[in-house]
Structure 1
Amino acid sequence: MADSGLPHRPKPEETPEASAAPAAEGGAAAPSKNALKKAAKEKAKAEKAAQRAAQEKAQQQAAAANAEDTAKGLYGPIPESEDLQPVTNIQQLSEEHYEKEVTVIARVDNARVQSAKLAFLMLRQQGVKVQAVVAAKEPISRQMVKWTGGINVNSIVQVTGTVKKPGVPIASATLSNLEIHISKAYLISEAAQMLPMQVKDAERPPPLSDVVEDGVQLDAEGAPIVTLKTRLDNRVLDLQTETSQAITWISSGIVQLFSEYMLKSGARWIFTSKLAGAASEGGSNVFEVKYFKRKAYLTQSPQLYKQMCIAGDMESVFEIGPVFRAEDSNTHRHLTEFTGLDFERTFRHHYHEVLEFAEDLLVFILTELKERYKDQIAVVQKSYPKAGDFKLPKGGKALRLKYMDGVALLKEAGVDVSEQERFENDLTTAMEKQLGQIIREKYDTDFYVLDKFPMAVRPFYTKADPEDPKFSNSYDFFMRGEEIMSGAQRIHDAKELEDSMRAKGLDPNSEEFEDYLAAFRQGCPPHAGGGLGLNRILQFFLGLPNIRLATLFPRDPQRLRP
């Protein structure tokens, strides 16, 4: 068409608005893609700006908070530059420390925040507890209060503070008449937030009865308690209780008193091998171990070695060491490994010279335990009431009865002792316990000795009574009616020893006895001795219901760990 000369009027679809998008329903135009992208960019930019502003504000608030923390350096992980201050044992704290500054290192038995300005720690050291207080007062800050009250239970801390007298005695603390007002608190070792067992649960006394509800054992007040198995499975935590601490101190005391008495008597401390090439005492109750390309055995006792030392002119010897018995006995007083306190001595005229020495040794140990460890005994007595009522023999001399006198006492009480009268069997555990009760009532003592046991129930190396060969020159020691020691005069003549071995069904010509018998063929003086069980002495002295409580890391047919 020819140009009319009139201005060109674009068609509707040629206008910018029309070309951008079709008209929306109702007449409104939809935004373009470019407009949407621009809006999204603006929104993202605004969000980033808001985020930066929030971060800056948080940093400013944190900086302001830190600026207000007046306790910087007074709490937290222990600084490497911390001066080594003198440390006071919690057990040593007393009223003499009132208003004095002390530093203690202890475990956190409990931690709680009372308010934003006040928190409490219960500190525990070897079972002894003392309360510590931290309050927000210049320079102590609220941040320090919050941090201190949030320390995990059982963590180890170093705390410095002033000892003060509380307004009211603190019943939950061992030291109820003092508390520490904290000025510094540092974390030395942090405990896990979740422990397999709480020490406070293991501290509760055992139940008066075996009440079980929904599979949980309850104490006298109906509160759930941890079982002995749980305690032994978590022995390290269990050892931290006040009772376990006291028991282990008394155990240490028994060994100390035994060695003290033996050394003072002129005895020599020996250390014999616990590995042997044969089951040297006969029987099958031995643990076999691989020894390079051959077999070896853990020794059942140092008995034969003690005698060989006597033959080696040592005259008086003793040993403290492990004893291994492969007995499948799951009782309250049996272990597969225990600590033996063994001794052997020569005598001039009669084996009672050694027996009297042994009696005096035990009376010394038991008497000194009561005196030197009375505080620890009192602690144990809170959980085990019998701990403090052990009756010592009157006049400092042990009660000694003949074996058949003990059998007669049981018979008078109506016990069937026909097998014992025929020498077919030794006293049973039940008989021993009943005899112990009879003797306690009749003689007012928990420690006594039975002498002259039937020869049939004693080992091959035991000397027979020259006046009546049915009996032997042997003896057992008892505490609360349970055996703690077996001893005897030993056969020192080589031919007599060989005859005794044959009578017990043993072959004196076998390789396992070669070295032992050689010692006697070279000449050996008359001698006697005995073997005490440390764990049993501790158990029966304290009246503990189970020997595992008197053993650091017990081993029995069911337990090889921890």
Structure 2
Amino acid sequence: MADSELPTRPKPEETGAAAAPAAEGDSKNASKNAAKKAAKEKAKAEKAAARAAQEKAQAAAQEANDTAKHLYGKLPESDDANPTTRFTDFTDEEKEVTVVARVDNARVQSAKLAFLMLRQQGQKIQAVIAAAEPISRQMIKFTGGLNVNSIVKVTGLIKKPEIPISSATIQHLEIHIRKVYMISEAAQMLPMQVKDAERPPPVDADGAPIVTLKTRLDNRVLDLQTETSQAITWISSGVAQLFSEYMIKSGSRWIFTPKLVGAATEGGSNVFEVKYFKRTGYLAQSPQLYKQMCIAGDMENVFEIAPVFRAEDSNTHRHLTEFAGLDFEKTFDKHYHEVLEFAEDLLVFILSQLKERYAAQIATIQKSYPKAGDFKLPKNGKALRLNYMDGVALLKEAGVDMSEQERFENDFSTAMEKQLGQIIRDKYDTDFYVLDKFPMAVRPFYTKADPSDARFSNSYDFFMRGEEIMSGAQRINDIAELEESMRSKGLDPTQEGFEDYLNAFRQGCPPHAGGGLGMNRIVMFFLGLPNVRLASLFPRDPQRLRP
């Protein structure tokens, strides 16, 4: 056999003989690296633990040396501080006060100085804290680091600042803090800042950015904390208070009518259906029928303040699906104008007393809504009263097509109402007026027709700044006339839901008249607000069912 034909021996690398020692070396290196890494991690952890222990020890030492540790932090369970004071009760006298307020702003000026802006029902006052025995740097750091909107309890000395605090509503006083305790901590991130919602609407497109109305209403609790919202809610409260005050003094009885009813008795489809056990119920459109039943029950003079529900898909600046109704009903001796004059005097009383009793709140609102302070009342203290056709004539004279109104086929449109309001303001120098004798065709079935001209009715509407705030009328009190009126309006007197109402008149009912006021609209138009939602606590409209 030739040498070239002899079988060749495989090389060591081909047999893997050298592969095992190489793999063994790699494994040893990996283990060594892992050990080094573990040692490094251990050393690093030991250093971190030592550093943490050192910081903890330093913090403990600082706390032990903190001369003010009992003067700040979480409110002690056994708090023996002085009785709290309202910002509005502050005087120029230099004395110690204790207040509970929100943190409107907090900032650390230096290790030895910090500032708080405290807010209480929209009112703001500056508080300052400076390092001086026993107040420590730790206390200053705590105070300047408080979350905005947190509720705190602050004790301090009232003093006059050298320069008035322009960013505060109370500019001539400030609080020099001696104690500050946390009552309720606010989240670090709020859905909107109260200070942003406080900004008045810009006069042009280049104005400062503001929070939109939708965002404000979505976060209504924060929005209610602004100075303007606080003032508006005081005006709403004032309207209800003045209404009830006047009614009670007149001998009227406060009643409480059902808001769940068994039938949509006032006509139309603008009612909300609700499931009422095994049948359908409805939310009341108004207390009208119950007010009249109370008159038939010899109550003579009644009123109510309660919610009213309207299932109207109206997304306008003045419509709500739920609003606060101020309703009244009253008997009269000879003529329904006795009740009309009573209602006119009621409104003049409410509006004039708002100006007198709530001047400070109106001035606050005027900063954001300039029309708040310019509402014009009749100079002689008596409401301007015109007939419906007088209004038609004024608009026609201004060039408005009033052909449908002259045929008694339609009521005034919103645009017509506003234009008439401006005409009356210019001509009679008042923003409050009354239109009487509306066409019968545009009034509800229970409205009494004018005996001298059946085309018209003994009904009236009240207006503020050219927009309706109240509708009222003399009511039909004769059962035969009432049933005939219902038929003329396309209603069936035998329809379910009318039986109890009509039975009240079969037992005899005295002549009476009344009306229903929209409280939210009164507030809106009195203050010149651009939207009725601003005059509603938690507004409800076709798009909004929360919060």
Task: Give TM-score, length-normalised by structure 1.
Answer: 0.89
Query: Does 2:364 align with 1:379?
Result: yes
For 1:262, the aligned partner's letter is: M
Instruction: Choose from 199, 203, 207 the match for 1:208.
Output: 203
**1:62 maps to what in 2?**
59
Query: Does 2:414 align with 1:419?
Result: no
Q: For residue 499 of structure 1, give the secondary structure of its aligned residue in structure 2.
A: helix
Task: Provide closer, same or farther for how the CA distance between residues 349 and 41 of structure 1 changes in structure 2, counting only shifts above 3 A.
Answer: closer
**1:196 maps to what in 2?**
191
For 1:495, the aligned partner's letter is: A
Q: For residue 245 of structure 2, give the secondary structure of its aligned residue in structure 1.
A: helix
Q: For residue 134 of structure 2, give the secondary structure of its aligned residue in structure 1.
A: coil
Q: Unaligned 5+ residue runs, structure 2? A: 1-27
Q: Answer whether contact 2:82 2:97 (CA < 8 A) is retained.
A: no
**1:237 maps to what in 2?**
222
Give 1:46 shift.
7.9
For 1:127, the aligned partner's letter is: G
Instruction: Choose from 54, 69, 72 the match for 1:75.
Output: 72
For 1:188, the aligned partner's letter is: I
Q: For residue 297 of structure 1, give the secondary structure of its aligned residue in structure 2.
A: strand
Q: For residue 394 of structure 1, give the secondary structure of its aligned residue in structure 2.
A: coil
Task: Provide closer, same or farther for how the CA distance between residues 242 and 517 of structure 1 changes in structure 2, counting only shifts above 3 A.
Answer: same
**2:433 maps to what in 1?**
448
State how far apart, in whole Å, the 2-side matches of 1:339 and 1:45 are. Answer: 70
**1:498 maps to what in 2?**
483
Query: Does 2:116 align with 1:116?
Result: no
Query: Does 2:171 align with 1:176?
Result: yes
**1:343 maps to what in 2?**
328
State how far apart, in whole Å, the 1-side matches of 2:200 and 2:372 are. Answer: 13
For 2:472, the aligned partner's letter is: G
**1:361 maps to what in 2?**
346
Give 1:40 shift.
11
1:23-42 → structure 2 map (5 Å cutoff): none
State how far apart, in whole Å, the 2-side matches of 1:125 and 1:295 are. Answer: 46
* CA shift digits 1:203-239 (9 cap, x unpaired): 0001224xxxxxxxxxx65321111001000000000
1:460-539 → structure 2 map (5 Å cutoff): 460-539=445-524
Query: Does 2:181 align with 1:186?
Result: yes
Task: Provide closer, same or farther for how the CA distance between residues 46 and 283 of structure 1 changes in structure 2, counting only shifts above 3 A.
Answer: closer
State how far apart, in whole Å, the 2-side matches of 1:255 and 1:494 are. Answer: 34
**1:212 maps to what in 2?**
none
State how far apart, in whole Å, the 2-side matches of 1:496 and 1:258 are. Answer: 32
Q: For residue 497 of structure 2, give the secondary structure of its aligned residue in structure 1.
A: helix
Instruction: Choose from 311, 315, 327 the match for 2:300.
Output: 315
Give 1:513 shift.
0.8
1:263-278 → structure 2 map (5 Å cutoff): 263-278=248-263
Task: Provide closer, same or farther for how the CA distance between residues 343 and 185 of structure 1 changes in structure 2, counting only shifts above 3 A.
Answer: same
Task: Give TM-score, length-normalised by structure 2.
Answer: 0.92
**1:436 maps to what in 2?**
421
Give 1:113 shift.
0.5
State how far apart, in whole Å, the 2-side matches of 1:502 and 1:54 are. Answer: 91
* CA shift digits 1:496-525 (9 cap, x unpaired): 000000000000111221111000011000
For 1:374, the aligned partner's letter is: A
Give 1:38 shift.
12
Task: Provide closer, same or farther for how the CA distance between residues 505 and 82 of structure 1 changes in structure 2, counting only shifts above 3 A.
Answer: same
Instruction: Choose from 128, 134, 142 the match for 1:139.
Output: 134
State how far apart, in whole Å, the 2-side matches of 1:279 and 1:208 are. Answer: 45
Identity over aligned pairs, percent: 79
**2:121 maps to what in 1?**
126
- Number of residue pairs aligned between Structure 1 and Structure 2: 520
Give 1:82 shift.
1.3
State how far apart, in whole Å, the 2-side matches of 1:530 and 1:521 are. Answer: 23
**1:560 maps to what in 2?**
545
For 1:429, the aligned partner's letter is: T
Task: Provide closer, same or farther for how the CA distance between residues 140 and 345 of structure 1 changes in structure 2, counting only shifts above 3 A.
Answer: same
**1:248 maps to what in 2?**
233
State how far apart, in whole Å, the 1-side matches of 2:248 and 2:365 are. Answer: 29
Q: Answer whether contact 2:304 2:327 (CA < 8 A) is retained.
A: yes
Task: Provide closer, same or farther for how the CA distance between residues 45 and 330 of structure 1 changes in structure 2, counting only shifts above 3 A.
Answer: closer
Q: Answer whether contact 2:472 2:513 (CA < 8 A) is retained.
A: yes
State how far apart, in whole Å, the 1-side matches of 2:139 and 2:251 are. Answer: 60
Give 1:50 shift.
6.0
State how far apart, in whole Å, the 2-side matches of 1:37 and 1:514 are. Answer: 93
Give 1:57 shift.
3.5
Give 1:282 shift.
1.4
* CA shift digits 1:444-491 (9 cap, x unpaired): 000000000000000000000000000000000000000000000000
**2:100 maps to what in 1?**
105
